[in-house]
Structure 1
Amino acid sequence: MNLKNLHSVYFLGIGGIGMSAIARWFNHIGVPVYGYDKTPSPLTEALESEGMQISYVDESSHIPEPFKNSGSDKLIVWTPAVPQTSVLYKYFEANDFAIKKRAAVLGLITRNMESVAIAGTHGKTTTSSMVAHLLKHAGHNTAAFLGGLTQNYKNNLILHDEGSTEAPVVVVEADEFDRSFLQLHPDLSIVTSIDPDHLDIYGDAEQLISGFAAFIKLTNPIGKLIIHQNAYEKVRNKEIGSSKIYQYGLNSGNIHADNIKVGTNSFSFDYVAEDQRIDGLVLEVPGFHNIENALAAVAVAVHYGLSKEAIIDGIATYKGVKRRFEKIYNSERITYIDDYAHHPEEIKAFLQSVKAMYPDKKITAVFQPHLFTRTRDFASGFSESLSLADSVILLDIYPAREQPIAGITSEMLLPKITSTNKWVVSKDELLSHLDQHTPEVLVTIGAGDIDRLVKPIEKWIKENEK
């Protein structure tokens, strides 16, 4: 398919963070964009304000005029978050429209551009946004399709300068869900982690590892693979191609950190590689895991020839991604941090960093499990990770694309949580519960709709501060 010949594009599930980035790209190049999503959100409202037409009704009567008939100049971009039983999906399928998954379209957009692809079961959004910011901030001609809204650019799409004489580099977040990352052919790849996840798709951990090995093998043979040590151990006996491999880790590897210092507002460290050392990096987005993400991002910056000064300034000015270790409120009495973590290893890394930042304060974690299958598959891991908090408040499971599974509830996590205090409460009851158990350090964790509680919690804190 030649994307330049498209007259209009329709997105089934336009409100997804990855879908919306591609929708914005088409809108930018002047292709009319239409779409459907189940419910309005701040993101869909932003897309509408940018000129895209969105419906929230899954009925054929709401199909816009350009899509009453199919044609080679029309494209349907689909995410599996919208089931194939959808009325709209069935309509487009029955009427012979070209239907492509988001990842396939992303592969078409980027196939003629030098690309850096960042994969991993966690850490990829932060790392990809760091890579994009370091290059962009240094004046390198850079585009990026990201899985989160960057605080620096207030967007999940970064556009390159089409008038530049410098060939652009495109930074792509490579999603393992539904094996989407196998649509890409990167010149340089980063793999941040390969922990068991999406077992509803892969079946077991071994199949997930094989999926990552297949992704790595797509890397240009004369390119580079920058991979976390723990991830490399899982694929080292697989066929992963011949690109040059650099392993990184917090304290060891070809690339590692030195002189790590923990503060309540930032972490500082030195970047150490076999042929390069950069001292005095200060990261305003805290977390030991974010130092590791920064190590990989700096390695890419070094690859593209950025100076030490540009890298130091780029790390110092990086503001993070919405809902990734986002400090919402901070005073002497209470600190409130929101994070997207939804896997046991992510929660563990997040809470370990929070404890290091506030060693003398009690931590209250509010967690909304995401997906019945993930809760079932990693129940023990969730309980163990959440036990790092002093108090744990569990919300009901956010189902996303799934139907309930008998016996799988938030309550099943309680018995193995060893925290002093632990409860299951409804979203409606949360603020009144917090009234009775005033926290010192409050964190909200999860990938569902827990983000809609952030503003009410912030308001509750401010009212209690008066």
Structure 2
Amino acid sequence: MVHHTRKLLRSKQVSKHPHAHLIGATGAGMKGLAEVLLDGGWKLTGSDQNPDPERLRLLINRGIALAAKHCSEAVSKEMDLVIFSAAIPESNIERQLAAALDIPQISYSEAVARLANEQQLVAIAGTHGKSSTTALVASLFEQTGTDVTFFCGAQRCEDQRNGKLGNSEIVVVEACEYQRHFLNFRPKVITLLGIEADHFDCFPSLDDAVTAYAEFIRLLPENGTLVYRRDCEISCKLAQTVNCRSVSFSITSREADWFAETRDGTVQLFKSGGLKQTFPSELPGKHSLLNLLAATTTAAQFGVDLTSAGAQKFFASPTRLKQRFEILTSTDSRLFVDDYAHHPTEIEATLQAAREHSPQSRIVCIFQPHQLSRTQKLHAEFVDSLALADVVYLLPVFRAREPESVLFDEESQKIVKKLISRQIPATFIPSLDQVWSTIETDSQRNDVVLTIGAGDLTRIHNERTR
């Protein structure tokens, strides 16, 4: 598998240690790709105009020369390949120079596809839970003796990795629907976690998204497998269209092939109606149980022994990810939780998990909306989900792939007004640098303080722990 990484390079003679340059290097997916390439002996350089501080530090510690800007000096003719993230346009100065120097260029998703498509590719797809399920699948394989390659859009807490090169033929990939990137893959197994309206900049309607997912699952070969969520109506309909084996999972329907429920602090796992396993679990929220069940169902398709000592160790302590109900250390009586939730369904799940975790505490939610189009299209849904908190603070909408606009402030302020009209204490915070002073002034002892969003809000925790 190590030599397999050279398939990124097509018909080019290279040295023992090929050299790739990564543009947008500290993106979550790009970090995982960098880690896989480093495991394969590649020499890497990279750049990022707005680098994530923690990922920047981790990549530099592994020996990558990284520039905190995009510049022509970062690119040289000695490079064998340039890989760019989805956020990097063709007009980028480094891509322009690479083209002038005739250096091959591919996108992140194309790079992962070249590495994974000729292997036993497991693609984790759906609107919610992709990162968590990808990490859980990889961890379950690892704990039971199969060294898989994985690419994950979030960082594992246990080893600070988003990706790893394994020595087996199984590759587990977080397959993102954005801009139909998942159509680059040729999976043997697809795990479909459910489909909702999202990414309105490339899917104006839910029907547009469903069409893309339908095209994706048609990529499965006849000897492939679709693992799908039975309590998602759209996923069920798509499952009826495949020409391969399909296996369902659910935490609400016992008619599913695999079913799980929580009872008296334990999880009971059923296969085809029969009790398969009982194990303790401290995972927060029903969405975490759903992700765990999806991962278990997926790994079982490869004959993983769920009764083995390794599997029992996995169930007792499932892998956790950064920003996925990540409980942070606190120096006082307040509990700080950081979560990547940026869709109303995810926010609702996160707030419900906080209630379950700390039923006697006041839930304080600091939310940074992500993308103007999503915030506008799902305005009412955001209000409903945020209303589950006791106190809400909203930041301006985080600009992602969108032009500057006064609406980034206005849309958040509209949500604040709607929450106030429903008797929910809500306040607009105009900038990140005012978040901590607001928390220090307004929060109380025993509060659970959640920072929620997919933008740069999480960076305030780095400042707090300095």
> TM-score of the superposition, structure 1-length normalised?
0.88
Tell whether the 8 Å contact from 1:284 to 1:319 is kept in structure 2 after alignment: no
Q: Residue 370 of structure 2: SS of its match in structure 1? A: coil
Say which of 20, 30, 33 aligns to 2:31.
Answer: 20
Structure 1 residues 17-44: Cα deviation after superposition (integer angstroms, max 9, x where no partner): 1112112222222222122211342212
Superposed, which structure 2 residues align to 1:439-450 within 5 Å? 439=444, 440-450=447-457
Tell whether the 8 Å contact from 2:280 to 2:316 is kept in structure 1 after alignment: yes
Q: Residue 450 of structure 1: SS of its match in structure 2? A: coil
CA–CA separation in structure 2 for the residues paired with 1:338 and 1:157: 21
Q: Residue 195 of structure 2: SS of its match in structure 1? A: coil
Aligned partner letter, 1:431: W
CA–CA separation in structure 1 for the residues paired with 2:122 and 2:73: 41
Give the corresponding residue for 1:11: 22
Aligned partner letter, 2:27: G
Aligned partner letter, 2:246: I
Tell whether the 8 Å contact from 2:230 to 2:236 is kept in structure 1 after alignment: no
CA–CA separation in structure 2 for the residues paired with 1:102 and 1:394: 32
1:276 CA drift (Å): 5.1
Instruction: State whether structure 2 residue 135 is matched by structure 1 residue 129.
Output: yes
- Structure 2 CA distance for partners of 1:295 and 1:217, relative to 1, 3 Å: same
CA–CA separation in structure 1 for the residues paired with 2:72 and 2:335: 48
Q: Residue 458 of structure 2: SS of its match in structure 1? A: helix
Instruction: State whether structure 2 residue 214 is matched by structure 1 residue 213.
Output: yes
Comparing 273-282 with 44-53, greater Cα deviation is found at 273-282
Tell whether the 8 Å contact from 1:372 to 1:405 is kept in structure 2 after alignment: no
Q: Residue 108 of structure 1: SS of its match in structure 2? A: helix
Structure 1 residues 29-68: Cα deviation after superposition (integer angstroms, max 9, x where no partner): 222212221134221222122122222332323323524x
Q: Give % identity.
A: 27
5+ unaligned residues in a row in structure 2: which ranges? 1-5
1:239 CA drift (Å): 7.8
Aligned partner letter, 1:109: L
Structure 1 residues 222-271: Cα deviation after superposition (integer angstroms, max 9, x where no partner): 2221111244535616884212222222221332223434xxxxx63111
Tell whether the 8 Å contact from 1:285 to 1:325 is kept in structure 2 after alignment: no
Instruction: State whether structure 2 residue 229 is matched by structure 1 residue 222.
Output: no
Instruction: State whether structure 2 residue 57 is matched by structure 1 residue 57.
Output: no
> TM-score of the superposition, structure 2-length normalised?
0.88
Instruction: State whether structure 2 residue 147 is matched by structure 1 residue 141.
Output: yes
Give the corresponding residue for 1:290: 288
Give the corresponding residue for 1:314: 314
Structural RMSD (CA): 2.3
Instruction: State whether structure 2 residue 463 is matched by structure 1 residue 437.
Output: no
Tell whether the 8 Å contact from 1:384 to 1:416 is kept in structure 2 after alignment: no
CA–CA separation in structure 2 for the residues paired with 1:355 and 1:367: 17
CA–CA separation in structure 1 for the residues paired with 2:294 and 2:427: 38
Aligned residues: 443
Structure 1 residues 388-445: Cα deviation after superposition (integer angstroms, max 9, x where no partner): 0010011122213322234343112112223531001132222222233224111110
CA–CA separation in structure 2 for the residues paired with 1:238 and 1:290: 23
CA–CA separation in structure 2 for the residues paired with 1:370 and 1:36: 23
Give the corresponding residue for 2:344: 344
Aligned partner letter, 1:24: E
Instruction: State whether structure 2 residue 165 is matched by structure 1 residue 159.
Output: yes
Instruction: State whether structure 2 residue 44 is matched by structure 1 residue 33.
Output: yes
CA–CA separation in structure 1 for the residues paired with 2:84 and 2:236: 30
CA–CA separation in structure 2 for the residues paired with 1:435 and 1:152: 30
Aligned partner letter, 2:458: D
1:154 CA drift (Å): 2.0
Tell whether the 8 Å contact from 1:14 to 1:36 is kept in structure 2 after alignment: yes
Say which of 260, 263, 288 aligns to 1:260.
Answer: 263
